[in-house]
Amino acid sequence: MAVKPILTEPNKILRQISKSVDKVRTEEQKLMNDMLDTMYAANGIGLAAIQIGVPKRIIVMDISKDPNKKEPRYFVNPVIKNKDLKKATYEEGCLSVPNQFAEIDRPSKCEVEYLDYNGKKQFLKAEGLLATCIQHEMDHLEGILFIDYLSKLKKSMIIKKLSKLKSNRAIL
Ligand code: GNR
Ligand code: NI
């Protein structure tokens, strides 16, 4: 159980393509525990392993509204089997793009095949925030951030702002 530092843009590590997990072992379960601690500590609803610098295809998520009722979800090697043609728009944020938000269109529903915390094969039909969040997290596994869907201008303004924040932090 440990809260890890979350990498923020711009950082090349976030652009890596994460590798499949051959088997869910104790090592991966420990990683999932740390990811969940890190996600809760940062008040996020999802986290991909690469956000704490580990290039494995692992995601944790908890979209429950009540902080007293934890509903953690674990996804190892998730694959999207089906996407709805209909799109839904959500105001997205990302723990790796701090304090920046933008409306992003994504398929409103999707079906995902994955391994759970115990390495058991699972199938999930997702819609609403769950569908949006899974797709946001699966983008992380490919090195994609939500700002990549914005215009070049909007994206470059956000990256500029975040770079400045980083250089200020280096001075202080
Ligand atoms: O905490 C998060 N909130 C969120 C809101 C709308 C769409 C996606 C997300 S995921 C984000 C946490 C995060 O960065 N996961 O990678
Ligand atoms: Ni994110």
> pLDDT tens digits for 151-160?
999 999 999 9
Residue 101, SS3 per DSSP: strand
Active-site residue numbers?
Answer: 137
Is it the case that residue 145 has pLDDT exceeding 90? Answer: yes
Is the beta carbon of 138 within 6 A of some atom in ligand 1? no
User: What is the residue range of 23's domain?
Assistant: 12-171
Q: Report if residue 148 sits inside a domain.
A: yes
Residue 26 belongs to domain with CATH number:
3.90.45.10
Q: What are the tokens at 80? A: 């999207």
Q: Number of structural domains, the chain? A: 1
| Residue 97 Cα: closest atom of ligand 1 | 14
Residue 2 lies in a domain: no
Q: Is residue 147 part of a domain?
A: yes
| Per-residue confidence (pLDDT) for residue 68, from 0 to 100 | 87
Q: Give exposure, 127-147, as e/b (b: 16+ Cβ within 10 Å).
A: eeebbbbbbbbbbbbebebbb
The residues pairing with 114 across neighbouring beta strands, listed in sequence order, are 122
Dist. CA 55 → ligand 1 center (Å): 18
From the CB of 39, is ligand 1 less than 6 Å away? no
| pTM of the complete model | 0.97
